Chains A and B, each alone.
Chain A
Amino acid sequence: MSVSSPIVSIDPLLCTGCRRCAEVCPVDAIVGTLHQPQSIDTERCVMCGQCVLRCSAFASPFDETISDIPAIRKERGLPEDDSSTLFAAHFRVDKGSVSSMLEDTDKISMVQCAPAVRSSIAEEFGLAPGTLTPGQLAAALRRLGFDLVYDTIFAADVTIMEEASELLERLESGENLPMFTSCCPGWVRYMETAWDDQLSHLSSCKSPQQMAGALFKSYGAEIAGKQPEQIASVAVMPCTAKKFEAGRPEMQADSVPDVDAVLTVTELADMLKRKGIQLTSLQEEEFDAPLGLYSGAGTIFGASGGVMEAALRTAIAVTTGKEVDESGVTFTKTEEGISRATINVAGKTVRAVIVSGLAHAAKLLEDVRAGKADFDFMEVMCCTGGCVAGGGQPKLLPHVDLQDAIQRRRESLHVHDKALPVRASHRNPSVTALYENYLEKPLGHRSHTLLHTTYGEAAGGHE
C-alpha cells in the first residue's frame, strides 16, 4: 500500500451519485452533481469517514457496469482472496502493513485500542450494538500476535494530566484562551484547514493515540529493553482521521513515527475473522501493564463530553484536594450540538463548552476570532456523539437505528467507567509511576518532547 493513497476517497466506478454522503459531511467536502460520481475536495476534507459509514453504493455482483471487482480490490491494496464488500466511499486499508509488522520477528509489536473500540467491535461478530468486550478484545489482539497489548485509555489518562495542567497554566496566565481540546484529529484538521489563524487556542497536547505511540517507543522501549526502531506500534481506532494523524510529520521522533499503522474497528474485525479468531467466544484477558492499565475517566474519552468530565474529575482533585468519582457537573444543551456549564475551580470560574459534531463549531469559532468568546475551555468531537460514532466504526445496515446504536455504545462506556476500580486519571497507578519514573511532572521537559506538539503548517497536505 502506497503511503500516498488518500485516507478517504470515493470510487467513481461504484458511486451512483446519490449524494447521501454529502448530507453527513460536516465540511461540505463532497463535490459533484446528483446521479454523477462524487469526489472529495481534499482541501476541505477532515477525513472523519462519515461518508464511508453512510455510503450504501456497494459493488453488486449483478451490475453490468461493475465488471472488474478483482481490479478494484487490487487498486485498494486488498488481497486477492479478500471477500469484504466494496463500497464507493472507502478509507485506506492498512491491514497488509500490520500483517507484515506482525510477521517481522526482529520487532516487538505493541498495540493500543481507543476506548470506543471495546463498545462496538462485538457488532462485527453478530452481537447487539454497544456490547462491551474489553477483555475479549485484549485476548483477541494477543491471538493475532501482538507481543504487548497496551491501551489508548492509559494515554487518555496521561492526556488529562497534561491537558488539565495546560489549562490551569493558561487560566493563570490568561494567554491563548479559550483553550480547545486537541484529541480529535478531524477537529484539529478542521482548525488547520479552515481556522488556521486560531490555532494558538488548540491545546499543544498530542492526542491519546499519539501520546501512547510516543510512550511505546520511549518508556515502553526502555521497559522492553529495545530501541525505538525495534518497536512496531499499531493503533486500533474507531476513526479514519487517526490514519492521517499517525502519518503527520510532527508525530515522530528522529524520523521514527510514534504510531506505525492505524487499523479501524472494521479492519481489525476482518483480520481476526481471517485468522479464525472468534472474538466473542474468547476468555477475557487483561491488558498488559503498565501502558495498558486505565481509569474510568480515560474510558469515557470515547463519547462526546467524556474528555471534559475526565478533566474535571482531576481538576477538582488537584485544586480542592477532594477526590471525586464523578465531577457532578451537568452540562446543559443550549443549542443543537452545543452544551455548556460554568464551573468553579480553585476560586476561578471556568466556562466550559462541549461541541458534538464539527458542523456546530463554526459559530463558536467566529466568536473566538471576533474576540467575543464567552467560554474558556472547549471540547470538540468531529463526529456527532464522539468516537462512538466515528468513521472507522462498524458500518451499520440500512434498517439499523444508527442513533440508537451510538447511544448504546456510549452507555456501555459509561457502564465500563462505573465498574472500574480507579475512575480518575491522576489516580491511575501506572500514570503515577510513569511520572515518578520517567516524565517527572506534567508539562515537564520530557512531556514537552514526547507528548506535546505544534499544529499548523507542518501538518502537510491531505495525501
Chain B
Amino acid sequence: MHPFVLSDPSRCIGCRACEIACVDAHMDEDMVEAGNKELPFSPRISIVHEAEVTAPVQCRQCEEAPCVAACPAGAVVSEGDTVRVETERCCGCKACMAACPVGAMQVAVIPGKIKTPVAHKCDLCTGREKGPACVEVCPAGALRVFGREDLQRIPVSKRRQSASQLAGYN
C-alpha cells in the first residue's frame, strides 16, 4: 500500500506554512530568488478555510488512482511508494483534475523547463531526506505520514482495543 499524508483538522491553524514549504521543496531556487524571478507558486497541498473546517488537503496516493486511469497520455503512474506524474508526458488535458475525488491534482505552470500548465500533485517529497516538507514544517503538528506499517498497525491496534472492550461486557 502507498503511504500518504493526512491532516488533523483539530490541530490545523491555517498558517499556510505547508503550502510554502511544498513549493519550496519542489524547485531549485530558494523562495526569495523565486519571488524576485516571479516564478509560479503552485503548491501541491491546499489549505481549505471554511466556516466549518480549516485543514490542508493533498493526494492520498490511491491504490486504484482515478487520475492514473483517466490520463490519456500515460503520464500518471502508480509506482513504488507513490502515484507519480511524469510531467514531460503530460499534455495538460485536465482529465486528472476532473477525476480526483479529493481535488488533489493541479494543472498549472510550475517552475522548470516546461512553460505550459502541467499536472502536478503531492509526491511525498520522494528523494527528500527528511520526508515530506509539509509535515516537517507544520508548527501545529497537524500533518502526518501514514506509512505502510501504520496502515497495517492501526486497524490491528483498534481491533485489540475493540476486542478488550467486547471482553469487558460479555
Contact = CB atoms under 8 A, between A and B. Distances in A.
Interface in A59-75: 62, 64
Interface bin, chain B: under 10
B27 interface: no
B163 to A, nearest CB: 13
Interface in B10-57: none
B152 interface: yes
B152 to A, nearest CB: 7
B156 interface: yes
A62 B156 CA distance: 8
Contacts of B155: 62
B57 to A, nearest CB: 29
Nearest to A61: B152
Interface bin, chain A: under 10
Nearest to B159: A62
B153 interface: yes
A62 B158 CA distance: 13
A64 B153 CA distance: 8
A64 B155 CA distance: 10
Grouping DSSP codes into helix (H, G, I), strand (E, B) and loop, the A interface class, with mixed when no group exceeds half, is loop
B158 to A, nearest CB: 12
A64 B156 CA distance: 7
A64 B157 CA distance: 10
B1 to A, nearest CB: 12
A43 B155 CA distance: 43
Interface in B133-154: 152-153
A320 B152 CA distance: 74
Interface string A121-138: 000000000000000000
B151 to A, nearest CB: 11
Contacts of A64: 152-153, 156
Nearest to A63: B156
Interface string A187-205: 0000000000000000000
B128 to A, nearest CB: 29
Nearest to B155: A62
B154 to A, nearest CB: 11
Interface string A39-69: 0000000000000000000000010100000
B24 to A, nearest CB: 38
A402 to B, nearest CB: 29
A64 B152 CA distance: 8
A28 B155 CA distance: 38
Nearest to B157: A64
A388 B156 CA distance: 40
Interface in A99-151: none
B156 to A, nearest CB: 5
Nearest to A67: B152
B166 to A, nearest CB: 16
A62 B155 CA distance: 9
A64 B159 CA distance: 11
A62 B151 CA distance: 11
Interface of B: 152-153, 155-156
5 contacts: A62-B155, A62-B156, A64-B152, A64-B153, A64-B156
The 5 closest A-B pairs by CB, nearest first: A64-B156, A64-B152, A64-B153, A62-B156, A62-B155
